[in-house]
Amino acid sequence: MILHNRVNKDVLKQRLKESTEERLTLSFYRYFHIYDVHAYRDKLYLHLSELGVLGRVYVAEEGINAQISVSKDRFEDFQHYIDKSDELQGIRLNIAVDDDGKSFFKLKIQVRTKIVADGLNDSTFDVTNRGIHLSAEAFNELTNDPETIIVDMRNHYESEVGHFENAILPDVDTFREALPVVENMLDEAKDRNIVMYCTGGIRCEKASAYYKHRGFQRVFQLDGGIIEYARQVREKGLENKFIGKNFVFDERLGERISDDVISKCHQCGAPCDTHTNCKNDGCHLLFIQCDACAKKYDGCCSKECQEVIHLPQDEQRKLRSGINKGRQVFKKGRSEKLVYKSNPTKKEANPVTNDPLSSLMQEAAK
C-alpha cells in the first residue's frame, strides 16, 4: 500500500470544499519513547488512512504530536483505535470549539527530530518534572491573584489575534526563541506564580520542565491549552478570560473564543483577525487581511505579489524557480510591505507586545 498521498492538493482542496461530510477537528500529543520511528510512522499511516483520518502528524523518538480531522461517522471507530493502542490509550483529545470540518484535506505523517522544535538538550534536565497542570477553573482562580504572572508561550502571529487578559506576549517568531526570551524577562521573579499557556498544551509540557530546571519555584501550565480551556468554559459556564481568536495550525487558521477583535488588517489598519496566506505561490506570506483588502489585492500581501499572480503560469513558475515556499502557516509572517504589522529589528532585546505587566516586572525586579 502507498504510504503517502498522490492526489494533487488543489483537487483535494476542492473536494473538501464541496464535501457535505461532517468532520471533527481535534489534536493530541504524548511524550513517550518510540524505538523505531519510521516503522511506527508507517503503521500509524496505515491505521489512520483506514479510518479516513486527514491531518498533519509529527512523530519522533520522543513521541507524537497530531492535528487531525475525522468523520463524525467514524469517530467511534477512531476512539476505539486509540483505546486499543498501547502507546495512545488514555490520551486526551482536544476537540476544536469553532469548527466547520474543513481543517485538513490530506493525511501527512512526518518523522521529525522532535515533535516540537525547542532547541533544548533534553539530557540535561528531567523533562518529566513538569509544571502543575491547571483546569480552566483553577486557571481562573490563580490568575485572579494580581501577583500571578501569565505568560503566552506562543509566537507573535498567534497572540496577535487572541490571548488571555493581562498576559505577557513575547514578540517572537518561534518557540525556540521564546524560551530564553521569557527566561530573561522573568529572571527576577523566580519565586512568583508563573502560569504558562499555549494552543493545546504541548509547548508548555517542555517549557515548564525547563523553567523548573532553571530555578523557577512555582511553575503552572494550562492543562490542554487554550482549546481545552475554551471547552471547559463553555461546558461549565465559567468566566472566559481569553479574548479574541485562538490561532490554529490548519486550513481554518483560527477558532473564535470570544467576540472581541483585538488585531487589525496588516494592509489598511481596519479591525480584523482573519489570517490568510498570500495567493502568490512564490510568497505565501502569513498575514491578517480584511475582506476589503482581499478584494483590492486579490488575496495578496502586496501590489508586487498581485502583479505576479496575473502573469501567465509559465512566467510565475520561472519567477519562483528554486524557491520552495510550501505552507507558510508556520512562518513568521513579517514583511516591510505590511504597513500595520510590527517588525522589530534584531537589535531590540526581548521585544514584548501588549505589555500590561511592565510595572509588575519592574516591581518584581526590586
What cell does 178 get?
A: 521564546
Which entry of 198, 272, 278, 283 is annotated as an active-site residue? 198
Residues 6+ apart with CB under 8 A from 136: 222, 228, 229, 232, 233, 236, 238
Q: How far is CA 306 from CA 272, 280, 291, 310, in A?
A: 21, 7, 15, 7
Quote the CA–CA distance of 131 and 138 in Å, as a whole number.
14
Mark whether 204 is an active-site residue: no
SS3 state at 181: helix
Which pairs count as long-range contacts for 268-275, CB under 8 Å and 24+ apart, including other chains? 268/292, 268/293, 268/340, 269/339, 269/340, 273/161, 273/162, 273/244, 273/245, 275/157, 275/161, 275/247, 275/333
Quote the CA–CA distance of 230 and 95 in Å, as a whole number.
10
Quote the CA–CA distance of 362 and 219 in Å, as a whole number.
20
What cell does 31 get?
A: 511524550
In the chain, what are the helix, strand and coil shares in percent, each to the nearest 5?
A: 30, 20, 50
SS3 state at 199: coil
Q: By C-alpha distance, which of 58, 66, 62, 65 is closest to 32? A: 62
Contact 94, 67 (CB under 8 A): no
SS3 state at 287: strand
The residues that are catalytic are 198
